[in-house]
Amino acid sequence: MNPSEVRPGFTAAISVSETHHEDARVVEKPFGRALVEAGRKNSKVVGLTADLGKYTDIDLFGQEFPERYFQIGMAEQNLIGVASGLSRVGYIPFATTYCVFASRRAYDFIAIDVALGRANVKIIAGLPGLTTGYGATHQGIDDLALMRAIPNMAVIDPCDATEIEQVVHAIAGYAGPVYMRLLRGKVKAVLNPKSYRFELGKAATLREGRDIALISTGIMTERALEVAEELSKSGIEACVLHVPTLKPMDQDAILQTAAEVGVILTLENHSTIGGLGSATAEAIALAGIKVKMAKVGIQDRFIECGSVGYLTDKYGLSTPRIVTAAQDLLANGRRGEAL
């Protein structure tokens, strides 16, 4: 089954009204909790990890279903191989590790063991981008670019606890390989679970605006909403388009936004090469739409060790820095020029 094909009944249409949860609550281990629920509904769901059960929240699944939980050890290539084998005999494996270990150490195994034969494996990747201060060995700043390049692979970067929980149930019912970024531990619920619905391959307009469009994915969507609030104080109305699925990507929503607004700022917790910004620019260019455009993300470099807050601001991913980038784009950018 191709990434654009979804089993009916596992996702619902996105509601774009009242999707923002104004008083964001914190959810403890949303991935682990959702996987336990998925495991209760389907006995074919199994969990695997590469010595990171506690640190990817899959330990909750192991406590609930010890007979369906496999601790592979520090062997990410073997993790993917075992998960692929389990899928071949009818199981639905969720395999967790850090995204740098999955995307760099196990890349060939993911491409051949999983993607080539469309094995029904769900790769859950923790510590995406600048969510850790541990430096280049643990900061997964290129994983989306790598995974997008693999045929048959669906690629998802959830925004918050609400979306993580919904994604787990959606991909448990999706027949095919999935790479999902993971926010672990205590995770904010930015999106309102009463009105927001994740759908594989669909973007959601969380805020309307005609002056500039903030196209975001993952944790940067919360910052996009914050930036929009700040810009509105100076009379600038920003549209916020949340793109949780990098592949298959909702090009129709992106192109419609580009045509209607004409000023685009992409936001991603990832390198500006090969991720959301690159995919957005490519889609707009091929459609022949002229826009003002800039990309907020990690520039072409490795990031040193330090506190997450310090690094986020230093490399332009903090809310104040994004506000400045949006203002600069509006003041200085020309249609068709990437700043």
Cβ 284 vs Cβ 264: under 8 Å: yes
Query: Please, what sign has the CA dihedral across residues 300, 304, 310, 312?
Result: positive
Question: 3-state SS of 148-171?
Answer: HCCCCCEEECCCCHHHHHHHHHHH
Look over the chain and give the mean of its residue pLDDT values, rounded to a whole number.
91
Calculate mean pLDDT across residues 31-38: 98
Calculate mean pLDDT across residues 72-83: 96
pLDDT of residue 253: 98
Calculate mean pLDDT across residues 170-191: 97
Check pLDDT > 70 for residue 19. no
pLDDT of residue 133: 87
| Cα–Cα distance for residue pair 18/96, rounded to 1 Å | 32
| Cα–Cα distance for residue pair 262/210, rounded to 1 Å | 9
For the chain, the structural domain boundaries read 29-191, 204-332
94's enclosing H/E stretch is strand 92-98
Instruction: For helices 251-261 and 276-287, give the axis angle rounded to 10 degrees.
Output: 70
| Cα–Cα distance for residue pair 180/217, rounded to 1 Å | 12
pLDDT of residue 332: 86
For residue 135, name the pLDDT band (cuts at 50, 70, 90). confident
pLDDT of residue 161: 97
DSSP labels, 205-220: EEE--SSEEEEE-TTH
CATH of 29-191, one of 3.30.70.141, 3.30.1330.10, 3.40.50.970, 3.40.470.10: 3.40.50.970
Q: Percent of the chain at pLDDT above 70?
A: 91
pLDDT per residue as tens digits for the range 136-149: 889 999 999 999 99
| Cα–Cα distance for residue pair 205/107, rounded to 1 Å | 33
The CATH number assigned to the domain with range 204-332 reads 3.40.50.920
Claim: this prediction has a pTM higher than 0.75: yes
β 45-49/186-191 pair status: unpaired
Provide the 8-state DSSP code for 116. T
Check pLDDT > 90 for residue 335. no
Angle of CA points 281, 282, 284, to nearest 5°: 65
Residue ranges of alpha helices (H) inside the chain are: 30-41, 59-64, 76-88, 99-100, 107-109, 143-148, 161-172, 220-232, 251-261, 276-287, 308-314, 319-332
Provide the 8-state DSSP code for 291. -
For residue 13, name the pLDDT band (cuts at 50, 70, 90). very low
pLDDT per residue as tens digits for the range 268-304: 999 999 999 999 999 999 999 999 999 999 999 999 9
For residue 36, name the pLDDT band (cuts at 50, 70, 90). very high
For residue 71, name the pLDDT band (cuts at 50, 70, 90). very high
Residue ranges of alpha helices (H) inside 187-332 are: 220-232, 251-261, 276-287, 308-314, 319-332
